[in-house]
Amino acid sequence: MSSCYNIPAENICVEQEIKRSRFITDIAQVENKAAALTFIQKIQQREPDARHHCWAYIAGHPVESIQRGSSDAGEPQGTAGKPMLNVLQHKNIGEIVVVVSRYFGGIKLGAGGLVRAYSSSVQQAIDALPLCQRIITIPAVLHTPFALENNMRHLLESLSISIKNSDYLDHVQLHIDIEQGTESALKATIRNKSNGKASLKYAMAQKGSLIAK
């Protein structure tokens, strides 16, 4: 699994008209299925007169997450929710929910026309969507003798790794978060720079921080 992926940086709403039907597309960042369903309900309440509220979501990692779903919301089967989800899956964006509210304009679009309308609505919104990056990190502790503390601090700084806090016992413990997948390389670097006198111990992966893109 990739240690970083894009997510929505903010909620957005865009609109387009196709053969008199209005398609209002809302996108938001959500971390789980419950949050996605809550957002969908919020849009349904905001647009009570829309004939359809079709939706799709990927509530987690864009590839690995099993929390994903879609709904045609009354449109012919396979013409809305699945095409919307397909667009999301090809964009490598995670933690995302999209709702397309349709106000029927009196002209039927047909199955192919509906697929194109809902797909293009999502594409249009994603083209306007600001993104940031989710970095999956590992909490770790760098153990170093007092004599090498400054060297280890400079090493971490050169690697753009921030120190969260420090403990002073019979040696120094520097608490850090490192990007998942870089553990082995960092361990080797620390070992080489300290001639084996410093070491790195790490725990379980965590969701990590957001970095603006």
Binning pLDDT at 50, 70 and 90, where does residue 205 land?
low
pLDDT > 70: percent of the chain: 94
**Angle formed at CA 177 by CA 175 and CA 182, multiple of 5 degrees:** 125
**145/108 Cα distance (integer angstroms):** 74
**How large is the average pLDDT for residues 107-122?**
97
Q: What confidence tens digit (pLDDT) does each residue in 132-168 have?
A: 999 888 899 999 999 999 999 999 999 999 999 999 9
Q: What is the CA radius of gyration of the chain?
A: 23
Cα 7 to the center of its chain, rounded Å: 3
Domains of the chain: 4-133 (3.30.230.30), 136-212 (3.30.70.240)
Q: What confidence tens digit (pLDDT) does each residue in 45-101 have?
A: 999 999 999 999 999 999 988 999 999 999 999 999 999 999 999 998 999 999 999
**Which SS3 state, helix, strand or coil, does residue 30 take?**
coil
Report whether 20 contacts 31 (CB < 8 A).
no
- Side chain identity, residue 27: I
Distance linking the first and last C-alpha atoms of the chain: 20
